Amino acid sequence: MNNAGTVAVKLVALLGGAALGLILARWSDDLLASRAQERSEYDKARYQQGLAPTSPSVEERKG
């Protein structure tokens, strides 16, 4: 394979990896955001009922 062909293959591999990384990053970000939204709504519902959040706050963990 000549030098230009090698460069083209490397460029395609680089662009493919970047696209795959972008897709995975966006998917994981959406997953984490949706879980955080669900948790927030759940904690708001518990607060309205006069209950404590399901996990201790940062201050309570410090002692």
> pLDDT of 26-35, one tens digit each?
999 999 999 9
Q: What are phi and psi of 49, to 5 degrees?
A: -85, -5
pLDDT at 50: 86
CA-CA distance, 58 to 62, in Å (whole number)? 6
CA-CA distance, 15 to 34, in Å (whole number)? 29
pLDDT at 13: 97
Residues 6 or more apart in contact with residue 52 via CB below 8 angstroms = 46
CA-CA distance, 13 to 39, in Å (whole number)? 39
Q: Does 39 score more than 60 pLDDT?
A: yes
Domain residue spans of the chain: 3-62
pLDDT at 36: 92
pLDDT at 59: 56
Contact by Cβ (8 Å): 48, 58? no
Mean pLDDT in residue range 4-25: 96
